[in-house]
Amino acid sequence: MRNIFIILFVFISIALSAQQDFRKTYFPLVNKAELHLVNGEYMEASQAYFTAFGTTKIPLVRDLYNATVCKLYQNDFESAKLYLFKMAQRGVKAETLEQREIFEVGYNNEAWRNFKLSYEQFFEPKELNDFLKYHLGNLAILEKKYFENSSTDFVYMPFGVENPTHAIRMKDYIRITYNDSSQLERDKIVKYTLKEAELEMKKSKATVEEILEEAKGILLLVFENSIALNEGNSQLERFHRNDPDLFSFLRFFKFNHDRRTLKEGTVNDFLNPSEKDYIDEKLQEAVYQGFLSPQVAVYQSSERDIPEKIKVTSFTLTIENSAECGKEFDDLENIRFLKKNVLSSEEQKEYKKIKEKYGLESLDDRFKKEVFGTDKNKYFILNTRSFVESSVVPNCEVAQKMLAGATIIQD
């Protein structure tokens, strides 16, 4: 009965969401809020989030979370309670919020301790519907089978001999080599002739291909159901990385299939062109309906390559031989260098097309968030790909080459 109500609720949400294109209503307001929070304008960010949430009954959990942090920065725990209650009802565990240490913001730890009991009373564990339980359960079984069969490699014996006479499974070899195994355990290990080992490896590879094909069939089936993308979004964006979700299985099977090569040395893609287009269309539809953020959707799509190039590196330099350096290298310890991974003009044109499809932010807006994400963001979730790096270079000439095109920021 509970599952029936869950499905009815989702269908009602779908019907409501279908009345608007979230790429043109909800997500531009969220982008506006994120630009405000990047600038430390938390009151303005809160107003933008409030306006965005007024356009839908299903705001993304990530956005509810960021709106909460904005309220905490304003030391307005009372207003934050509304968003906390909504996250509790969407299945965000109290422990998850505590692990992210957001209540340190604005010194709200005591207010949270007083409120936590109320939060837990509103908490509703997120349950997968029967459709997803069944199919994600099967994908989990296939993932386990993949590991079992893909590890069927052999070690030829006697070890170190040019012309071996027999072989044992690699996993057995590792067990007897690195674990304390008795002679009885060693004697029980099955030994194969070279011909038997070759047949076993062929059988294992064929089984792996069957597993991958079966997994692909299930994934394509799951993508047909809009509830699955709604659930996948909730699983992914509520930060519970140990929970099974559609996208984690998609990444696993795609990665493990794509890295398998054909005899001629070319890569055998997991999805053919029409299947890629099909999944891309489903992801775009999910953004349209407000089930997925544009950033999450595009990074699951076949069009992720160019958006993934949008990165900023925040780095410091240590020069081993700095005796002959000029004045421009004085006081390097107090300077932060930011370097954008600049897109070519063709890549910028392609990004513009992808932006329209998925409702992404502009390149300028994305870079602002990436800069913020390098080492200034501790609490917000903005799907940034940037990172911090420390480099040691031999001399000033190498340092100058590294700094070409970098922005120098005096902290």
Going by the DSSP 8-state scheme, the letter that residue 330 receives in this structure is: T
Asked if 84 and 77 count as a contact pair (C-beta separation under 8 A), the reply is no
Q: What is the pTM of this model?
A: 0.81
User: What is the structure's pLDDT at 148?
Assistant: 80
Cα dihedral: 26, 292, 132, 68 (round 10): -70
Residue 263: pLDDT over 70: no
Q: Could you tell me the pLDDT band of residue 10, with boundaries at 50, 70 and 90?
A: very low
Please write the tens of the pLDDT for every residue from 163-173.
787 888 777 77
155, containing H or E segment? strand 154-157
User: What is the structure's pLDDT at 236?
Assistant: 38
Least reliable range by pLDDT among 184-198, 284-298, 338-352, 355-369: 184-198
Report how far residue 334's alpha carbon sits from residue 338's, in angstroms, rounded to the nearest whole number: 13
Closest C-alpha among 267, 300, 263, 268 to residue 281: 300
Cα dihedral: 103, 105, 107, 110 (round 10): -10
Q: Could you tell me the pLDDT band of residue 191, with boundaries at 50, 70 and 90?
A: confident
Mean pLDDT of the chain: 84
Closest C-alpha among 309, 310, 304 to residue 354: 304
Q: No. of H helices and E strands in the chain?
A: 19, 7
Least reliable range by pLDDT among 141-145, 202-206, 291-295, 331-335: 331-335
Top pLDDT among 403 and 379 is at 379
User: What is the structure's pLDDT at 123?
Assistant: 93
Please write the tens of the pLDDT for every residue from 80-116.
999 999 999 988 889 889 988 999 999 999 999 999 9
- SS3 string, 259-325, reads CCECCCCCECCCCCHHHHHHHHHHHHHHHHCCCCCHHHHHHHCCCCHHHHCCCEEEEEEEEEECCCC
User: What is the structure's pLDDT at 331?
Assistant: 63
**What is the mean predicted confidence (pLDDT) over 43-54?**
98
Report how far residue 67's alpha carbon sits from residue 85's, in angstroms, rounded to the nearest whole number: 13
Report how far residue 94's alpha carbon sits from residue 207's, in angstroms, rounded to the nearest whole number: 43
Residues in a beta bridge with 387? 313
Least reliable range by pLDDT among 1-10, 84-93, 129-138, 225-234: 1-10
Beta-strand relationship, 387-395 and 312-321: parallel
Q: CA angle at residue 309 from 306 to 315, to 5 degrees?
A: 170
End-to-end CA distance of the chain: 58
Residue 36: pLDDT over 90: yes
Please write the tens of the pLDDT for every residue from 396-409.
888 888 777 787 76
Alpha-carbon distance values, 228 to 133, 140, 220, 253, 357 (Å) = 10, 16, 11, 18, 21
